[in-house]
Structure 1
């Protein structure tokens, strides 16, 4: 079955305290986004990659490709004003109705090929496969006046890739966008589909703060 990957890279560098968008920050000598693309190509050269970027950053990406001699073939399309719109734009690039599509954050560069492969295999069986990890720390529910301890074993931290049957997720993204739809699993669930989780990895971090960059550098150097 044909495998696609939509890599969504629309984040800014606000929390990174950088003027450059976080997906373009260098990590171990290469922009974060290139590490992410390389991770999918390490899994399989046959994966068709669709890169979703803000319109005003496509030229920056093209310049970085020249600077770092990055020639991996990807299809670039423009994002929307939200993640929902950006993913929908990426899905619209795919003309086929049959296949599997992994949707992945551009700033999760340490995803392993074992996680990617598992997501495709499980999605082929269950129609969805969403990476998740168990919580390591205690958590509490809070309101304005009180807090209450809850059983952390009942909860999971959701990661990407979030991989789906192509026809299913295309249909799911026809629903109306709402603020509560924060990821692809929530979109598919709102459309009436059951979400299957599988074990992700604690090293599959999303780089959003300067501390994350330090951790990612250490993990790369430890490989």
Structure 2
């Protein structure tokens, strides 16, 4: 099973009266209350809301180990979770496109032609992927910084 299968199973069990859904990646242990509040506030106006950070680094498109192009980093965001959606829209998008392989849930709305609002994320909302990330997460917890 893939992550999207778990999300689909969760969506199948949401009560009808629920209006909004937040989908969060458990590998991001520190989303923070502000991000959650900001997503919920923006869901009143937009069908989908994601948080993200502008790339602080130069970003290059690379092909076969050679630089193909330098991208404008002002338009490159590292997207985080949680991601918020109007429930009926994400459920319908998953029903139609559930077999597709997307890297995040917002892509289901993108492909459906829905606009997804990007709000500021947080450097603390990093994904624990590598051993170094776990060291940083432990340090934040041990020093009560989160």
Q: Which structure has the higher relative contact order (CA within 8 Å, separation 6+)?
A: 2
Establish whether residue 178 from structure 1 lines up as the match of residue 129 from structure 2.
no
Task: After TM superposition, list the pairs within 5 Å mapping 1:21-60 onto structure 2.
Answer: none
Give the direction of change, closer, same or farther, for the CA distance of 1:138–1:121 in structure 2 (3 Å limit): same
Computed over aligned residues only, the root mean square deviation of the Cα atoms, in angstroms, reads: 1.4
Aligned equivalent of 2:112: 191
Kept after mapping to 2: 8 A contact 1:100/1:124: no
Larger Rg over CA atoms: 1
Return the TM-score normalized by structure 2: 0.90
Gaps of 5+ in 2: none
Kept after mapping to 2: 8 A contact 1:175/1:191: no
C-alpha displacement of 1:164:
0.6
What CA deviation, in whole Å up to 9, does each residue of 1:141-164 have, x standing for no partner? 111263032221121000001001
Distance 2:115 2:46 in 1: 9
Establish whether residue 86 from structure 1 lines up as the match of residue 32 from structure 2.
no
Establish whether residue 138 from structure 1 lines up as the match of residue 58 from structure 2.
yes
Distance 1:162 1:145 in 2: 33
Distance 2:70 2:113 in 1: 31
Return the TM-score normalized by structure 1: 0.60
